[in-house]
Amino acid sequence: MALRTVVLEGDEILNKRAREVTEVNDRVREILDDMIETMRAYDGCGLAGPQVGILRRLFVVEYEDQVYELINPVIEEMSGENESEEGCLSLPGLCGTVKRPTHVVMSGLDRWGKPVTYEANDFLAKAFCHEYDHLDGILYRSKAKNIHALPEGDEEEEAGEKEE
């Protein structure tokens, strides 16, 4: 496993549509491992391929001690609506209010190429949708109402995870 450099806003790779993963092989598994390590190193709760310079359709999310990995995700269902704050490792030090579905079902492949379906609610639905957007070249800035700087010493909220 190795840390990868997180691509920051301004790099055009973040505005491009990522391509499908054509073969789920050891290289893909290594990328997923690196993405998880990088996400944790930056105290994030999600990371998408383009954010580590890989223009492929895959992302990882970690929430409540569970890691979710999705390759070539497809949105099967989406419902509900909620506004809440979120951040992004590619826009360090910022957060903003974004409207997201409260319920989403996404299918895709796991790291062994097997079909997998996840049902996500509330925070997890938000995280899945945020990461999915990255695969279409969409940053939350384009959906957020009031992007603002995180208060000093509040960096752990960058990923939108709130402890209180």
Question: Catalytic residues, which ones?
Answer: 131
Cα–Cα distance, 150 to 145 (Å, whole number):
15
Nearer to Zn ion, 9 or 77 (CB): 9
CA distance 38 to 46: 10
Least distance CB 88 / Zn ion (angstroms) = 3
Closest approach, Cβ 138 to Zn ion, in A, equals: 10
Whether 68 and 86 have beta carbons less than 8 Å apart is answered as no
Contact residues toward Zn ion (CB under 5 A) are 88
Cβ closer to Zn ion: 92 or 113? 92
Contacts of 2 (CB under 8 A, 6+ apart): 34, 37
State the residue number with the nearest CB to Zn ion: 88
**Nearest to Zn ion of 113, 157 (CB atom):** 157
